Chains A and B, each alone.
Chain A
Amino acid sequence: MPKPSASAKRRSVGAVRASFAPWADPGAVPLIRVASVTKRFGDAVAVDDLSLDIYGGEFFCLLGPSGCGKTTLMRMIAGFEQPDTGTLTLAGQNLAGVPPYRRPVNMMFQSYALFPHMSVERNIAFGLRQDRLPKDEIAARVAEMLRLVQLEGLAGRRPDQLSGGQRQRVALARALAKRPKVLLLDEPLAALDKKLREETQFELMDIQHELGMTFIVVTHDQEEAMTMADRIAVMDRGRIVQVATPGEIYEQPKTRFIAEFVGDVNIIEGQVAGQEAGLWRVAASPAGAPLTIDDPDEVLHSGQAVAIAVRPEKMVIQREPFPAGRPNVLTGTVWDIGYLGDWTVYRVKLDTGAIMRVSRANASRFVEAPIDWDERVSIAFAPDAAVILSR
């Protein structure tokens, strides 16, 4: 439970306030429960004593660099690998020994894996035929799926006659046709170009919301995860580092790994110099005076070495020095400027040699006397704009 902070009002992390949060409800039962699962391939440990709860109706994301074990975990849920130790439970049923063709889980493959010798219609109907549904019911379901992914009229085509984006929709339709309890998506947007990727992201979210299904997406692309997910599990080397909403992951990273993996960040190292009125004082060499950080959830002692994370957009940059008494002020010279149209990114070399990234929205079209290369600038950030990283 968070300790009472200096401010009495409840603060919401991140800019978006989610009203859907079954994980916070103590009475909710998770749909999928992963309990102490380990999986080894020879000497390499792919998944290391991992535990996770996923709730029904979630758009869940497994995020991490390649080799972190996210794909292995997904394949274990699908049934293509079996855990060496631990249990996997789906809707209360233990999945041990249950083959993939008997699980109420369907997967959308990264390569789409469309059957090249079957038409779109037969691809989508394949799963339904295995269940021996009556013909007219199959036909109705296939038509419904085609409408859902906006591919009506292409039922008779073969996969090699479709574009990449169309093939992806067929793969999605095929995986949804059986109304599985859980849909697994393996890097669903990896093969699409940027424009298509953005559109598809929102479409996936719409479909998931409309059908009320649980989606689990495996991806290495943090933008994808941040956009689509209700919750993200960041994985590294077979373990889960943090499970939280995108907002919490971005604004309250638990470790340095997460702070650096998701988005850009400035890391400042220092030592705790004490606590004053609920705010931590940290002596850090890049700054003149010790920094003032508002992070009430941390328990620290004097002299402890800490790392502070500040996102570039939370910093203020200006030419004129700040008035005295303003907390968390750093000074340096502009080393690099990146103009991105909507944002400008400044890389500032502090007097100590460290480089800080500061980004600022270009909120107006015309700027008088813009900051230039090699200018002396001052940077400041608010006490609650920084996070103290525990590791």
Chain B
Amino acid sequence: MRGPAQPLGARLASALVPVVPYLWLGLFFLVPFLIVLKISLSDAAVAQPPYAPVFDWADWRGFIEGLDLENFELLLSDSLYFDATLSSLRIAAVSTGLLLLVGYPIAYAMARAPVSWRPVLIALVILPFWTSFLIRIYAWVAILKPEGFLNQALMGLGLLSEPLDILNTEAAVFIGIVYAYLPFMVLPLYAALEKLDPSLTEAALDLGSTPLRAFWQITVPLSWPGIVAGSLLCFIPAVGEFVIPDLLGGSETLMIGRQLWSEFFSNRDWPLASAVAILLLLILVVPIVIYRDIEARRLEARP
């Protein structure tokens, strides 16, 4: 047994510390997911709420019989969901790649900046994050519209004769995701790069490597944990993103988050929406577990 001796009362009280958040999360996170699972196996009903009851204690046999995989069959048969899933994964992956491309130089520059600048730089990266997400996406609508600021500027400078049609296309979604998620990529990258010992790069240069090769063979591999953490932190939520494709994307921009939303709010088909949620969860469970493992290992690695 480790640690100091403690009287029984103190030990019970200290057990509350993990127990209280555990219960909360169990109740408000775990249980809801079990309910989603159950609902996804139910039938829609024209009632309020629009599905068959969650759990009938008296008639549990009938309850089990009432469950079916109808909703999932629908999902798998209708190519819409398949396409939406693929498209979501694709868009999220491409956006994550773009985020790496844009975020890495920023994080790198921050890690190389004079130490006194760094709190300011971090604050500057975080500041947009503290302002409303919705409003910032909305700002991009204003920028990317045919009559928007971007086109005004480009046409005003004489670079274009006709406005660019960016809004309501996938390109706008990319821009939106990169813009909104940038702090989530930059900060983990910065954390990893900041720990890097600059003398390692110098040693490589001293031994004859070019700066570019030193970057690829030393800096990038050593910042790998930051790359993975930042990528997961962006990719996973981006797959299920709703607001950005809804505001910036067009009707052809299929994303599974939008599907879920419309099943729920427009079609009022809660069981089907639940099935979509389960589907999305299944797709993401592996990356989520990986992310959890990375964070848990980081916690344990500290002394």
State yes or no: do A and B touch (Cβ within 8 Å): yes
Which residues of A are at the interface with B, using a C-beta cutoff of 8 A?
A: 41, 79-82, 84, 96-100
How extensive is the interface on chain B, given as a class? Answer: under 10
Within 8 A of A (CB), among B1-56: 1-7, 10
A99 / chain B contacts, CB cutoff of 8 Å: 4-7, 10
Instruction: Report yes or no: B1 in contact with A82, Cβ–Cβ below 8 A.
Output: yes
Contact pick for A79, options B1, B2, B5, B10, CB 8 Å:
B5
A96 / chain B contacts, CB cutoff of 8 Å: 5
Instruction: Write 23 A-B pairs (CB below 8 A) sorted by A numbering.
Output: A41-B2, A79-B4, A79-B5, A80-B3, A80-B4, A81-B2, A81-B3, A81-B4, A82-B1, A82-B3, A82-B4, A82-B5, A84-B1, A96-B5, A97-B5, A97-B7, A98-B5, A99-B4, A99-B5, A99-B7, A99-B10, A100-B4, A100-B5
B4 / chain A contacts, CB cutoff of 8 Å: 79-82, 99-100
Q: Digit string of B140-181 for contact with A (CB within 8 Å is 1, else 0)?
A: 000000000000000000000000000000000000000000
Query: Which residue of chain A has the shortest Cβ distance to B8 in the bound complex?
Result: A97
Contacts A41-B2, A82-B1, A99-B6 aside, 18 further interface pairs with beta carbons under 8 A come to A79-B4, A79-B5, A80-B3, A80-B4, A81-B2, A81-B3, A81-B4, A82-B3, A82-B5, A84-B1, A97-B5, A97-B7, A98-B5, A99-B4, A99-B5, A99-B7, A99-B10, A100-B4
Query: Which residue of chain A has the shortest Cβ distance to B10 in the bound complex?
Result: A99
Closest 4 CB pairs of A and B: A97-B5, A80-B4, A100-B4, A99-B6
**A79–B3 CA distance with the chains assembled, in angstroms:** 8
* A85, chain B: closest CB distance, angstroms: 12
**A41–B1 CA distance with the chains assembled, in angstroms:** 9
A80 / chain B contacts, CB cutoff of 8 Å: 3-4
**A41–B2 CA distance with the chains assembled, in angstroms:** 8
Query: Which residue of chain B has the shortest Cβ distance to A42 in the bound complex?
Result: B2
**A79–B10 CA distance with the chains assembled, in angstroms:** 15
**A160–B270 CA distance with the chains assembled, in angstroms:** 60
**A81–B1 CA distance with the chains assembled, in angstroms:** 8
**A375–B4 CA distance with the chains assembled, in angstroms:** 62
A41 / chain B contacts, CB cutoff of 8 Å: 2
* B42, chain A: closest CB distance, angstroms: 50
B5 / chain A contacts, CB cutoff of 8 Å: 79, 82, 96-100
**A81–B2 CA distance with the chains assembled, in angstroms:** 6
**A209–B3 CA distance with the chains assembled, in angstroms:** 33
**A115–B36 CA distance with the chains assembled, in angstroms:** 49
- Between B1, B5, B7, B10, the greatest number of chain A beta carbons within 10 A of the residue's beta carbon is seen for B5
**A100–B5 CA distance with the chains assembled, in angstroms:** 7
* A54, chain B: closest CB distance, angstroms: 20
* B212, chain A: closest CB distance, angstroms: 44
**A79–B6 CA distance with the chains assembled, in angstroms:** 10
A98 / chain B contacts, CB cutoff of 8 Å: 5
B3 / chain A contacts, CB cutoff of 8 Å: 80-82
B10 / chain A contacts, CB cutoff of 8 Å: 99
* A205, chain B: closest CB distance, angstroms: 30
A97 / chain B contacts, CB cutoff of 8 Å: 5, 7
B1 / chain A contacts, CB cutoff of 8 Å: 82, 84
Query: Which residue of chain A has the shortest Cβ distance to B2 in the bound complex?
Result: A81
B2 / chain A contacts, CB cutoff of 8 Å: 41, 81
**A264–B5 CA distance with the chains assembled, in angstroms:** 42
**A167–B82 CA distance with the chains assembled, in angstroms:** 67
**A361–B55 CA distance with the chains assembled, in angstroms:** 94
A79 / chain B contacts, CB cutoff of 8 Å: 4-5
